[in-house]
Structure 1
Amino acid sequence: MSTNNLNRLSNEKSPYLLQHADNPVDWFPWGEEAFQKAKEDNKLIFLSVGYSTCHWCHVMAHESFENEAIAKIMNDNFVNVKVDREIQPDVDRMYMIFVQSLTGGGGWPMSVFLTPDLYPVFGGTYFPPEDQHGRPGFPSLLKRMASLWKEQGEALKKAGVDTIEKLRELTLQKFEGQNSQLNMKLAHNVHQYFISSFDSDEGGFDGEPKFPTPVQFHFLFRHHYYILSELGKAEERFAIMSIQEIKKRGHSLGIDFKDCDNEAQYLNKLQTVVNSRKQAAKKDLDMVTFTLKKIAMGGIHDHIGNGFHRYSTDKYWHVPHFEKMLYDQAQLLMSYVEVYLLTKDEYYAEVVRDIVTYVERDLRDHEGGGFYSAEDADSYPHEGAKHKLEGAFAVWEASEIKEILGDKNSEIFSYHFGVEPNGNVDPRKDIQGELKKKNVLIERHTPKETAKKFEISLDEVKVILSESKEKLAKYRFDKRPKPHRDDKILTSWNGLLISALARAYDAIRDEKYRELAEGAARFIKDQLYDSGKNRLLRSFREGPGEVEGFVDDYSNLIEGLLDLYQSTFNESYLAWAIDLQDQQITLFYDEEGGGGFYNVGKNNKNILVRLKDDHDGAEPSANSVSVSNLLRLGHIVDKADYNAKAEQTLKYFVERLEKVPYAMPAMAASLMLYLKGIKQIIFVGSEQETIVQKYIDIIRNRFMPNKFLLKAKENGEVLNERCEVIKSILQAESAPSVHICENFTCGMPISDVHELEEKLVES
């Protein structure tokens, strides 16, 4: 590595850019200085995109960017630009589409060659430092691209322009799906895909590697709920239904009775469909509960340090890629909260507590209240080590465990967690040989099985395992160098966590969870929000960043604020969510092209194409989240425009939902919310009154994805001004009660706990 002067990245705040500040490469940050330099020198731009906890980004940096000879080729022939994808997802997204179309795949580090006018001409991901297996190494590629630019510069420019124009045409076309029907068949297609791709042995919906993708669980939980709520208690009345009632009930379920001739055939078809849908709902829940238990037992779960690693390199959820991302913790927290509400299995509640323990201890800014982005996969194996190794902080040798725990307890612990004397990592999953003789802890046996094996009580096993984990955690945190932590705070990811923490508070009733959620919201409002302009910023590190918020910053924070309102009934969160929703529409909504939200604002000059993200992958797309937000807000503040934009966004994406349903599970979940409608549950009376708190607890204790809780208050400035339903209820009564409202119509006040429970079962 060069010991010369630092390059331009030394003035940046991004941890990723700062990691490259002392490279011999003359890096520029993304911006006008780099673009102007490329034009003046007539050089291609080499764009390298990654993030600070990216393992293969570290590998390429060490092999190539720290190499003086390779750096000289880069500096002589290119203007070299570094981008942190987490701070500038707009740049990452546009060029990632190009790389994926060119190579059939994508990932990080992303390496793209651009003309001085920012048009892409060639790209890929990781390139090795030497030619191998008939493929060019990075130096050969650099020389080839420099030569092509000198010899065929005009042709490259034309090819780059043509590529972007095709992408622009695709984004501007009005989809034929504008006239498609929005119906449950689309959601059932998503359900069928997950059934066909489910791994019944190990859980999940991929082969390998396996990602814990919460957007899939999010959809399946909702499909389960809406099917059962649609069926209701119909079977109780089947025996006494008239033919007219059977037909009415059947048509409401979308049943075609054209081949039925008599009452028995009608009833038989109705019964068959009901049974089939019940089985589908059961399958939804079974697939997710099985998968979430496998994930929690697996090596992807950090059994000693809490929280979850990024993904599993194998199909068994065993050997992970060891980085830990805030967005994974947030979404998995939500998944385990929801599965707990559906099953009331305390096992899942313990996982909820585990995740919160991790994010509070290791990812929280304890002074400000916001949450950091990630922890690295790589770390030094011991103090004084010269090189970092992936997973060094998390893995164990059998001898270490025996020394720390003693003979008896280490034998029990090792049996339970699959520890082997020579390590338990498949060498095929250890490409760089960093995990030899190491063990990645995975629960090979249940506590009951372990108790049976050692002929001790279940309680004894639980105590031994708990005490052993505490000892190993103390050793790890005291003796091992911690991985690098990416300490930038992103608005978008904090929005995801605020939502999950609020929901965790509702389910587990731990006041700390609500305090953590409110602390994060307060941090964003104080540090990343310009109240005068009603604008969000993207990131914070040693002060607010300069990049303005993208569409997901708005959508995820709005969702978090709506959930936080329901946990606190603090109307300031509701007011802020409404302000942000109006601003999101102004900045990102496509009024002219058929609906949907662009990922960048209209004034972004350096992005050649404004895209509308629709893929629900590691995170839900902003469009999927926005549909849900608009529907919820549209029912609260009686703003028809919100509901209209939600519907139009669904129609914009419906054709893609028909063609690739597996890519849009969160959008399918929002579609079901649109079809089934919002169920407003309005509480009247002080929360200090025991009966009112009982009402609230009953609702919070249930999984009802289409519910929205509202509190009618005499001094409620937001709802009393903007919600006609609240106004009418307050004018009519003040006694403690509950109102269940659907389709902008409210039922009679409920003033009895048992009556409320019955109504919830019926609805």
Structure 2
Amino acid sequence: MEKKPNRLIKEKSPYLRQHAYNPVDWYPWGEEAFKKAKEEDKPIFLSIGYSTCHWCHVMEKESFEDPEIAEILNNYFVPIKVDREERPDVDAFYMSVCQAMTGTGGWPLTIIMTPDKEPFFAGTYIPKEGMFGRPGLRDLLLTIRELWEKDRTKILNTAKHLVKALQEASRETQKAQIGEETIHRAFSELFSSYDEHFGGFGSAPKFPTPHNLMFLGRYYYRYKREQALKMIEKTLTNMRMGGIYDHVGFGFHRYSTDREWILPHFEKMLYDQAMLLFAYTEGYQLLKKDLFKQTVYEIVDFLKRDMLSPEGAFYSAWDADSEGEEGKFYTWSFEELKEVLDPEELELAVKVFNLSQEGNYLEEATKVKTGRNVLYIGKSYEELAKELGISEKELKEKLERIRKKLFEAREKRVKPLRDEKILTDWNGLTIAALSYAGKVFGEKEWIDLAKGAADFVLKNMRTENGLLLHRYMEGEAKYWGFLEDYAYFIWGLMELYEATLDSKYLEEVIKLQEIQIKHFWDKENGGFFQTPDFFTEIPVRKKEVYDGAIPSGNSVSAYNLIRLGRLISRSEYEKYGTKTLEAFSWEIANFPSAHTFSIIALDLIVNGTKELVIVPTDDSWRNLKAQLDKEYLPDLLILKKDKVIEKLSENLEQMKPVEGKTTYYLCRNYTCESPQIQSDKVLERIKGKGKG
């Protein structure tokens, strides 16, 4: 019998569409669902996940495709499905509910709430049947149905008490002193959680957290602590050689399930590629390791080949699962390897990539070998070449031939789902990373890719009055932009300006920054809310500063505002950046290493910046710019005077060419040195000192 679709079939989100043929009568988040819940006096069953989430797939197969569960949900609840990547506001609020009620969080996120959106139950993945004294979904739903009918007062009191507590918590602000000592404590905390054997921080599961490495680079730049450099080198090297890296098709998987970076969780997210592109580019600038440069080029190859939409923006993610199995697309049985490689190549692949007949890939839940292999390299190319008695160049050439063969064979497999949503925030990170890497490596094509994505967002993901929209899919831009959309996209445009010195991008930065301040700024306590002031769908307007897998919207906003204020000499912007850090000073001071991107912003205030203003009369400045682009100078901002920039910046009028030649004004913390027409002297002055 042919399955009938539910109303999710009309949605654009790949995650919602995955559930369109469930027997559950799903609603998307919206007025229709809440109206039905009120009219029929039913609680709401809210399930939040995303298209590349492995346990979301498991819960769907076990429960949401099950007729018995569907019947219970359809009769006694109003079921709502939410894609957390489309609605990060809904996800953030109800995730804070889950963490408050259970002490943990994750996806799929399961919430049961009143028709007024007030939650009274929260959990994550729940199996259909109970085990070891924990109720399964079936029993839980039936118990809640009974309570709803017989003891509703208790449920409503729980819900109201919880929402009130979260509202009060969102208004509470404690302040603490933050300064240079906070920067040193961030380093000390990272040092104490650093894994000296395998790189990275903490134990399994291990996430890349590239912003930690970006902080360590700046810490080395300012304070010359060699240990910071060693931590960067080991972590970047071990991740690149580990199974978390896709040695066949490039790009990084989501995280490692073990501390050695060997066995990954296989989904590939756009934001990870962007942030790691930044980390490896800066790693190369600091350490000049060819491996890091190679990794940068390979990440860009992956982005161009597998993440770039025909319109020029970037898709969101690749699933971990294919053919109903996690990692099937990325792993290899020995038989498959034999079919693709000749005996000599297979022998080399076994040695280099740690392959075996019984397989090295363990089933996560049971830790049983699956007969499949993840490719990972446990040693440096130099060590391997020595062991094999060949040159490093010859080894790399042989491995590239093997890689190409494996890639061609793998392309014939059933591919995981690609989530083709275009998200403003994640594209912002990618624009920032491509602009920065393109500048450092002199790759104009990468800067053009960044331009293409930026121009797409500016043209297709804005309202007539300039407000950003969050998601674009199949010709439709939808959902008001959230804080991260503004913060990350402004960062992207600022990096694009620094790469091109094209003033139109700086103009857009200022327009968007003004909108962000107007609609997101907390006038009472400082800092930015996640949602704009005209948006009232969620019971609590949240403010976040914790840097998780990627930096928070507030930490990136502080960084943007401090840089922008100093770049165009508009102190009001820097004040907003400083006040943002002050608003979250208690959180930052109490756990600096969980706020490393805020510390990156703080460093600009504590240790200063250098601002170079170019007043051109010809194109001779380009040579100096190209030299500066290669250097690791995280405290340098460059502005090129033109008619547009003159209107944006307040103190450029007196900066004029000397002797009719291109002239350079080097300023530190709003104080400028005498004008200079010799570019080599400017280069010398800029490279002279880490502390501004």
Give the TM-score range, shorter chain.
over 0.9
Partners of 1:394 and 1:440 within 8 A in 2: yes
- 1:417 is aligned to 2:341: no
AA matched with 1:93: A
Corresponding residue number in structure 2 for 1:468: 402
Equivalent residue of 2:664, what SS? strand
Deviation at 1:413, TM superposition (A): 1.7
1:697 to 601, 626, 631: 626
Partners of 1:685 and 1:734 within 8 A in 2: no
1:722 to 630, 639, 648: 648
- 1:316 is aligned to 2:260: yes
Deviation at 1:400, TM superposition (A): 2.1
Partners of 1:624 and 1:667 within 8 A in 2: yes
CA distance in 2 between counterparts of 1:591 and 1:468 reads 59
Deviations 1:685-723 (A, max 9, x none): 36743xx2221122111111121111123xx31x11122
Deviations 1:15-73 (A, max 9, x none): 11111111100001111111111111111100000000101000100110011111001
Pairs within 5 Å for 1:309-708: 309-366=253-310, 368-380=311-323, 388-426=324-362, 429=364, 431=366, 436-477=370-411, 479-530=412-463, 532-592=464-524, 594-685=525-616, 688-689=619-620, 692-708=621-637
CA distance in 2 between counterparts of 1:36 and 1:549 reads 25
Corresponding residue number in structure 1 for 2:49: 50
Pairs within 5 Å for 1:189-200: 189-200=185-196
AA matched with 1:760: I
Deviation at 1:640, TM superposition (A): 2.6
CA distance in 1 between counterparts of 2:57 and 2:616 reads 57
Pairs within 5 Å for 1:59-74: 59-74=58-73
Partners of 1:373 and 1:489 within 8 A in 2: yes
Partners of 2:468 and 2:485 within 8 A in 1: yes
Deviates more, 1:504-513 or 1:294-303: 504-513
Deviation at 1:733, TM superposition (A): 5.7
CA distance in 1 between counterparts of 2:660 and 2:494 reads 25
Partners of 2:618 and 2:662 within 8 A in 1: no
Deviations 1:211-264 (A, max 9, x none): 111121122112222224xxxxxxxxxxxxxxxxxxxxxxxxxxxxxxxxxxxx
Equivalent residue of 1:48, what SS? strand
Q: How many residues align structurally?
A: 689
- 1:181 is aligned to 2:177: yes
Deviations 1:146-166 (A, max 9, x none): 111111112211111111111
1:298 to 236, 242, 249: 242
Corresponding residue number in structure 1 for 2:168: 169
Partners of 1:376 and 1:484 within 8 A in 2: yes
Equivalent residue of 1:696, what SS? helix
State the TM-score, normalizing by the size of structure 1: 0.88
2:675 to 740, 749, 753: 749
AA matched with 1:11: K
CA distance in 2 between counterparts of 1:197 and 1:210 reads 12
Deviations 1:662-700 (A, max 9, x none): 2211111111112223311122336743xx222112211
AA matched with 1:131: G
Equivalent residue of 2:48, what SS? strand
AA matched with 2:688: E
CA distance in 2 between counterparts of 1:432 and 1:543 reads 44
Deviation at 1:3, TM superposition (A): 3.9
CA distance in 1 between counterparts of 2:301 and 2:212 reads 25
Equivalent residue of 1:499, what SS? helix
Partners of 2:617 and 2:657 within 8 A in 1: no
Corresponding residue number in structure 1 for 2:200: 204
RMSD, matched Cα:
1.6
Pairs within 5 Å for 1:18-97: 18-97=17-96
Partners of 1:47 and 1:113 within 8 A in 2: yes
- The 3 A distance-change label for structure 1 pair 734 and 482 is farther
Corresponding residue number in structure 2 for 1:268: none
Partners of 1:631 and 1:678 within 8 A in 2: no
Equivalent residue of 2:161, what SS? helix
Structure 2 unaligned spans of 5+: none
- The 3 A distance-change label for structure 1 pair 432 and 191 is closer
Partners of 2:33 and 2:78 within 8 A in 1: yes
Partners of 2:241 and 2:379 within 8 A in 1: no
Identity of aligned residues (%): 40
Deviation at 1:645, TM superposition (A): 1.3
Deviation at 1:288, TM superposition (A): 1.4
Deviation at 1:130, TM superposition (A): 1.0
Equivalent residue of 2:535, what SS? coil
CA distance in 2 between counterparts of 1:54 and 1:461 reads 37
CA distance in 1 between counterparts of 2:550 and 2:660 reads 43
Deviations 1:488-509 (A, max 9, x none): 0000000000000000011111
CA distance in 1 between counterparts of 2:431 and 2:85 reads 18
Partners of 1:197 and 1:205 within 8 A in 2: yes
CA distance in 2 between counterparts of 1:575 and 1:754 reads 30
Equivalent residue of 2:151, what SS? helix
Deviations 1:522-559 (A, max 9, x none): 110111012x3110000000123331100110010001
CA distance in 1 between counterparts of 2:578 and 2:380 reads 47
Partners of 1:684 and 1:734 within 8 A in 2: no
Partners of 2:662 and 2:677 within 8 A in 1: yes
CA distance in 2 between counterparts of 1:182 and 1:639 reads 23
AA matched with 1:651: E
Deviation at 1:101, TM superposition (A): 1.6
AA matched with 1:218: M
CA distance in 2 between counterparts of 1:288 and 1:534 reads 40
Deviation at 1:467, TM superposition (A): 0.7
Equivalent residue of 1:123, what SS? strand
Corresponding residue number in structure 2 for 1:384: none
Equivalent residue of 1:740, what SS? strand
CA distance in 1 between counterparts of 2:575 and 2:651 reads 20
Corresponding residue number in structure 1 for 2:664: 738
Partners of 2:614 and 2:664 within 8 A in 1: yes
Deviations 1:625-645 (A, max 9, x none): 011111111123333321221
CA distance in 2 between counterparts of 1:118 and 1:629 reads 34
Deviations 1:342-383 (A, max 9, x none): 1122211110001101111101102x1010000000012xxx
CA distance in 1 between counterparts of 2:424 and 2:576 reads 24
Partners of 2:76 and 2:145 within 8 A in 1: yes
- The 3 A distance-change label for structure 1 pair 359 and 446 is same
Pairs within 5 Å for 1:274-289: 281-289=225-233
CA distance in 2 between counterparts of 1:733 and 1:39 reads 76
